[in-house]
């Protein structure tokens, strides 16, 4: 697996909950798609917000061979590894920030060697290589696909109240990872999450943010604009 610099430096680890004892919310999930071997994912959640980044690494065979770390070899079962938030930040610093060969700015993950409790990663500049073995987090990461499936076919949008810090964090991660200035936002009903999505040239992302409960009223400013428009429309109709 190759992890692009956009994913490594997106800040996805900010959505982890390092204090949580439930599941493995303190880490970033790395996952290979079971039906498309060219697709890879990184996911993070603290139980209130969810971010999933997706990218293709079909060019991993072009990555130079590193002794002890192969970006090409894959196990019989797709990798599903959880990297601690602090470890993720350390790994993000491994690849060179710039290189004439863009592929070398990515982090190589040896999926075949990354079994059990360890994750084997490597980088190279072409002249010098570095290989590290880090510990995977124990526990079970939530099934993020099931979460998305629950909401993607819901009814019409409604007004929701969300934590602006979550919104800013998820949107910033999405912008950095996908290199897009525009993020699509949708909501599916009262007490349902806000969904953010963006597609970049190499990385795509989906984020979920759970709203506050109890207040689903229309914001006052929006109501004022709507009422003013209605009054203006009625005046025009009356004058005619």
Residue with tokens 């060019």: 59
Please name which of 70, 152, 150 lies closest in space to residue 108, comparing C-alpha atoms. Answer: 70
How is residue 58 annotated by DSSP? G
139-154 pLDDT, tens digit per residue, is 889 888 877 766 555 5
74-123 pLDDT, tens digit per residue, is 888 899 999 999 999 999 999 999 999 999 999 999 999 998 889 999 99
> pTM (2 decimals)?
0.76
Give the strands of the sheet with 107-110, arranged side by side.
2-3, 107-110, 118-124, 129-135
Q: Please, what is the average pLDDT of the chain? A: 85
Q: Hey, what CATH class is 2-209 in? A: alpha beta
């Amino acid at each position: 697996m190759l992890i692009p610099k956009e994913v490594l430096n997106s800040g996805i680890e900010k959505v982890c909950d390092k204090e949580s004892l439930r599941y493995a919310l303190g880490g970033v999930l790395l996952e290979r798609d079971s039906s498309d071997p060219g697709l890879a994912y990184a996911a993070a959640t603290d139980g209130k917000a969810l971010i999933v980044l997706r990218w293709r690494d079909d060019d991993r065979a072009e990555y130079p061979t590193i002794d002890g770390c192969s970006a090409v070899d894959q196990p019989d079962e797709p990798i599903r590894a959880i990297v601690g938030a602090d470890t993720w930040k350390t790994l993000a610093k491994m690849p060179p920030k710039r290189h004439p060969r863009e592929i070398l700015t990515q982090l190589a993950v040896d999926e075949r060697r990354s079994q059990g409790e360890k994750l084997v990663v490597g980088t190279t500049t072409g002249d010098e290589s570095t290989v590290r073995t880090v510990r995977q987090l124990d526990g079970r990461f939530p099934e993020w696909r099931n979460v998305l499936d629950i909401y993607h076919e819901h009814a019409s949008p409604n007004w929701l109240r969300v934590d602006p810090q979550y919104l800013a964090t998820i949107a910033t991660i999405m912008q950095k990872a996908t290199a897009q200035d525009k993020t699509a936002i949708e909501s599916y009903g009262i007490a349902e999450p806000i969904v953010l999505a963006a597609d970049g040239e190499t990385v795509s992302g989906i984020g979920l943010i759970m709203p506050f409960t109890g207040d689903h009223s229309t914001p006052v400013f929006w109501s004022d604009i709507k009422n003013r428009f209605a009054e203006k429309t009625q005046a025009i109709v009356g004058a005619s």
